[in-house]
Amino acid sequence: MAKRKPYQERTDLEKIKSQWRKLSGLHSREEWSAAVVRAATAVEIAANLVIRKELQSRSDLDETFVNHLLKWANGIVGKMDRLLLPLFVGRKQHSLLKKQTKVVEVINEKRNAIVHRGEFCNETEAREVIGNAKTFVESLVRIHEPNFKLKEKS
């Protein structure tokens, strides 16, 4: 059997798929809160992927500086407000992203409640957050990877 590539060596696209696979297993074991955290992580990595690709295609910024910007933006809401939306001003994707800002805020709030306050979520909440995350990740990644699709949960 081939050895898996270490996580830190994977591309953003590979990391999104890894998070989604892990989420599917957690979901099938009814570990709702952990699955929500993985979904939120996939959302943030999708943002990283698109921000990286946009900055690479428009500038000669080096990888270290781009990584600094991603850390500076601090979380998915920061990445939406500080990087994604400004990168797409004047383009059709801007209005689509703007419409999804509230969804991203809800995903982030549920993630933060779990991670920072020790809250749990139930199946209904998890299904809603995961469904919204899937829609957002697919629509965002498709900006640069038109055929991208996440596998359905098991």
What 3-state class would DSSP assign to 108? helix
- At residue 128, the pLDDT reads 97
- At residue 1, the pLDDT reads 65
Query: Does residue 144 contact residue 53 with C-beta atoms inside 8 Å?
Result: yes
Tell me whether residue 147 is in a domain.
no
Joined together, the tokens standing for residue 39 give 């979904």
Tell me whether residue 33 is in a domain.
yes
CATH number of 106's domain:
1.20.120
Give dist(CA 97, CA 91) in Å, integer.
10
Boundaries of domain holding 91: 13-53+61-141
Tell me whether residue 5 is in a domain.
no
Tell me whether residue 93 is in a domain.
yes
Tell me whether residue 151 is in a domain.
no
Query: Does residue 42 contact residue 56 with C-beta atoms inside 8 Å?
Result: no
Angle (deg, nearest 10), helices 12-28 and 123-141: 160
Nearest CA-CA partner of 104 in 72, 82, 71:
82
Tell me whether residue 22 is in a domain.
yes
One digit per residue, the tens of pLDDT, for the chain of length 154 reads 668 899 999 999 999 999 999 999 999 999 999 999 999 999 999 999 999 999 999 999 999 999 999 999 999 999 999 999 999 999 999 999 999 999 999 999 999 999 999 999 999 999 999 999 999 999 999 999 999 999 875 4
Tell me whether residue 149 is in a domain.
no
Structurally, how many domains does the chain consist of? 1
